[in-house]
Amino acid sequence: MLGSYDDPKEVVEAFYDFWYNFDSWRSFEYLDKEVNEGSDNRDDKRYTEKKNKAERQRRKKEDTARLRNIEEKEAREAKKKNKGQANGQTAKQKAEEEKRKAEEEAKRKAEEEAAARAEAKRAKAAAANAAKKARRAARAATEGGEAA
């Protein structure tokens, strides 16, 4: 396992120290420009080997840096992707929240309208009852006046 998010700093640093100092199996001897086999002079061989060794170390250093850059680039892209997903989730949550608020507002308005209609219906019924009573009173007054 590579580790987890909760690993202590020492464990993480030990992991990276190991891999940054890892001695790769890759060898760059096949890229040597100078070849020793044709020379009998010991000093020439030493000089050529010294040049080749320095060139191999330089190439190895470049290769290690290239690999680190690849890893760092992948880590940046993964972080960016995770951040984009987090923002996407936030936007999604905001949209859901707005939708929920709109639904609540529509429900509240519908309840208010229903209450207003019920109140208007009660007022109309009360007015009709009042008109009926007035007519009855008027009839009773006219009938009572004729009978008297």
Question: pLDDT of the chain along its 148 residues, tens only?
Answer: 677 888 898 988 888 888 777 766 777 777 777 777 776 788 888 888 898 889 988 988 888 888 888 888 888 888 888 887 766 667 778 888 889 999 999 899 989 988 888 888 898 888 888 889 989 988 888 887 666 5
118 closest CA partner among 108, 107, 106, 110: 110
User: Which residue range forms the structural domain that includes residue 99?
Assistant: 9-114
pTM, two decimal places: 0.40
- Residue 124 falls within a domain, yes or no? no
38 φ/ψ angles, rounded to the nearest 5 degrees: -85, -10
- Residue 25 falls within a domain, yes or no? yes
Task: Give the pLDDT of residue 101.
Answer: 92
- Residue 59 falls within a domain, yes or no? yes
- Residue 39 falls within a domain, yes or no? yes
Domain tally, the chain? 1
